[in-house]
Each structure stands twice: as C-alpha cells, then as structure tokens.
Amino acid sequence: MINSAQMLSSAEQALLPIFSKIDSQVKQNLEKVLASFRDHRVGVHHFAGVSGYGHDDLGRETLDKVFAQIMGAEAAAVRVQFVSGTHAIACALFGVLRPGDEMLAVAGTPYDTLEEVIGIRGNGQGSLLEFGISYRQLDLTNEGTIDYKALTQGVSDRTKLVLIQRSCGYAWRSSLSIADIEKIALIVKQQNPNTVCFVDNCYGEFIEDKEPTAVGADLIAGSLIKNPGGTIVTAGGYVAGRADLVEAAACRLTAPGIGSYGGATFDQNRLLFQGLFLASQMVGEAIKGNHLTAYVFDKLGYPVNPLPMAQRRDVIQAIKLGSPQKIIAFCKAIQQHSPIGSYLDPVPGEMPGYESLLVMAGGTFIDGSTSEFSADGPLREPYVVFCQGGTHWTHVAIALEAAIEAVEAVVT
C-alpha cells in the first residue's frame, strides 16, 4: 500500500530549493508589473467602465498600455469580448493573413482547437483554407524538438506568417522557452524579413522574465482565464505586439474602422488590473504544483513531461498514465478535491473544437479557468493526462494525495 501523504511530504522537502528559485522569479516579474502600473499612474479612477459602444474608456486604454509595457510590445488589446485564447488567436490570424498568403506552423501540429480555424479538420465554417490561405507545417524531430535544419529552408516568399505554439498542447514534447522562440524568430527573419512571427502564448505568460514580443516575435495572443488573469478575471483574451498587427487583429474582433476603439468593459476593469497584478504569484504557485506532480508520479514509475527537476516553460504538467481508466480515475480524484463541484464525477464527453472525447476535472471559480488547478486529457493513445494551474501549491498537494491512491487502485 502506497503512503501518498508520505510521498508528498518527501517531495516537498526535495523541491524546496526549486520553490525558492520560483519565488525569486515571481519577485522579478512582479517588479516589472509594478513598474508598469506606476509608469502609467494606475488609480481607482481606471476601474470605472463605460457602456454601449465603449468609446473613451480610460481604464481600458490604460490597461492596454500597461499590458503592452509588461509584454515588451508596442501595443496591446486586452478585451473581455475575446471568448477564449483560441478566439484571440483566430482574430490575429484572420487579421494578418489575406487570400493567397501562406501560414507555416513550425512546432508540429497545432493545438486541437486551432485545427478547425486553419481548416485541417472540419469544413464549411469559414476556415483560413476556405478563404484561400494555404497552410504548411514543419514536423518536430524524432526527439520532439524544433527541426531547425528544416526551418532554415522552410520560409518562402509566400510565407506571410509563421505560427509558433509555445505550449506543448496535447503533444508529448517540450514546450518552447523564450530562447527557443528568439532563435526561431531570428531564423525566420533571415529568410524573409516581412514574415510575421506570431506566437500562441497560452499557458506561457510570466514563466520567464521576458515574453516573446521582447525577443523578436511580432505578435502574441492568449487567454485571460489562463496565466495573465491571475485566477480572478471572468473572461477574455489579449493580443500584443506591433501596433499595426494588434490593430489588424482588433479589427477582426470588432469591425474595420472600429478596431481597438470599441468594446465596453462591463465594469470588469478592476478585475482585469487586479488579475494582472496577481498573475506572477499565481503562475509561481502553479509551477510549484507542476514540479510536485511530476516528482511523485515519476517516483511511481509513470513517464512525466517535463521531468521533475526540469526548468518550466509553461504551467502544464503531463503524465502518461497509459489507460483511459487511469485518466478518468485521476480526474475524478482532482474533481473531488476541487473547491467547486466536488460532488461531480468527470465523464468522457465531446467538447467543441476538440477531435477526441475528453475527460476534464475543473472545479474552478471561473468556468473553464486553467489558471486554477485542473486536469484533462483526450481519450486516445498514449493516454496522457495534463495538469495545469493552481492558486496555491498546497491545494495541488492535497488533491495529489487522492489522485495517487485512485490511479494506483485501477486494475488494467
């Protein structure tokens, strides 16, 4: 019989030096956030919102400037009107690309929810391919890394945009570091200086001391119910980068001629500012939870990605459990130790935008928030569960005790 409490206690002790380094990174990122708040003189008057068209919303305009400075970008559009990170990414792609252009994905197959946006799955809904935008992708090497040799010859005169997916998504590969993204952007620009380097930044914000727009990326996009929302923002997403590209994406969100100048904030400005302030700390707690999860399941003999002591590049921790029964058991244990909906049992089901059946545990205060502790996995080989988020690592530790026992009790 496995003593899960003892396993967690040993893991906590072993990881204390790493936890201390994470706290130092949190401090560095928080100093950057505070500097931006200070530089733009953020005050309580920025919390008030406007109704209707959303014209002259001082809070929204100031938040855009604060966010852009933190991201190392010329401009940003932070909007509750973005339904999700996928929506923000789609607006960026449709804003930049035109019929006859080519998009090149350089990190293998994109995340499931982007497949229908691109048009490599599904039809009749207005995908990029249906609008005459061609698509190519560079597969990863056998080791699951960027194929830099192929990349040095992969960008053509027609390549208008290169898609760089920072997070591993549902793939068993390493997520990209800021250094990786910088290297990719440099290689792309050497071949075609006019090619837009676009980064799907979901799950990666505040992991390191810089963001992709500070090292050569032209445009990034992500979700506010992931890292930058600090677990309290109720909805939304963002785009940031070159001012003209941000405006082009905003014109897809609203309409040409309106762009970033419209969109009521529905009295959400305080939460948007406060979530951004909390984001560095919440990301730090999630990373600690990732290390803890990797450590204990590695000890149990399950393949984990990233490895227990590896430097983190996003807030996702993957565990190869090897069977659908174990994924379901794991998710049930996480759900039972969630603050909301602990009485519910996760069951496999269809999710809009996903190809496979999914099982998801997410007893979160914000529906679908993956900055709070959650777990999910597609029911397909090799049966990997993906953990993400966490408001504090101690909650992750409590849930893991139950998850260890649940998974080890499954007979396959």
Give the DSSP H/E element, type plus range, for residue 166.
none
Q: pLDDT over 70 for what percent of the chain?
A: 99
Q: Confidence band (pLDDT; 50, 70, 90) for 349?
A: confident
- Cα–Cα distances in Å, from 328 out to 29, 126, 177, 305? 36, 35, 31, 19
Delimit the domains of the chain by residue range.
4-28+280-408, 41-275
Average pLDDT, the chain: 95
The tens digit of pLDDT for each residue in 203-254 reads: 999 999 999 999 999 999 999 999 999 999 999 999 999 999 999 999 999 9
Contacts of residue 6, Cβ cutoff 8 Å, sequence gap at least 6: none
Check whether 354 has a pLDDT greater than 90: no
CATH no. for 4-28+280-408: 3.90.1150.60
What's the confidence (pLDDT) of residue 49? 86
Asked if residues 398 and 337 have their Cβ atoms less than 8 Å apart, the reply is yes
CA distance 250 to 242: 12
Interval 247-279: pLDDT, tens? 999 999 999 999 999 999 999 999 999 999 999
Predicted local distance difference test score (pLDDT) of residue 370: 87
- 41-275 to CATH, choices 3.40.50.460, 3.30.460.80, 3.40.640.10, 1.10.3720.10: 3.40.640.10
Between strands 102-105 and 384-388, the pairing is unpaired
Rg (CA), the chain: 21
Instruction: Report pLDDT for 2.
Output: 77
Nearest-angstrom CA–CA distance, 319 and 408: 14
Band (pLDDT 50/70/90 cuts) for residue 73 is very high
Q: Is the pLDDT of residue 1 over 90?
A: no
Which residues, listed in sequence order, are joined to residue 305 by a DSSP beta bridge? 318
Q: What is the mean pLDDT of residues 126-135?
A: 97
pLDDT band at 353 (very low <50, low <70, confident <90, very high): low
Side chain identity at residue 305, one-letter code: N
DSSP string, 77-141: EEETT--SHHHHHHHHHHHH--TT-EEEESSSSPPHHHHHHHTSS--SS--TGGGT-EEEEPPPP
Is 371 a residue whose pLDDT tops 80? yes
Q: Extract the tokens encoding 404.
A: 């260890």
Stretch among 189-198, 301-310, 322-331, 345-354 having the lowest mean pLDDT: 345-354
Is the pLDDT at 15 greater than 90? The verdict is yes
**Mean pLDDT computed over 183-187:** 98
Lowest mean per-residue pLDDT among 22-36, 108-122, 186-200, 352-366:
352-366
- Does 190 have pLDDT greater than 70? yes
pTM for this entry: 0.95
pLDDT at 348: 87
Local confidence band at 132 (pLDDT 50, 70, 90 cut-offs): very high
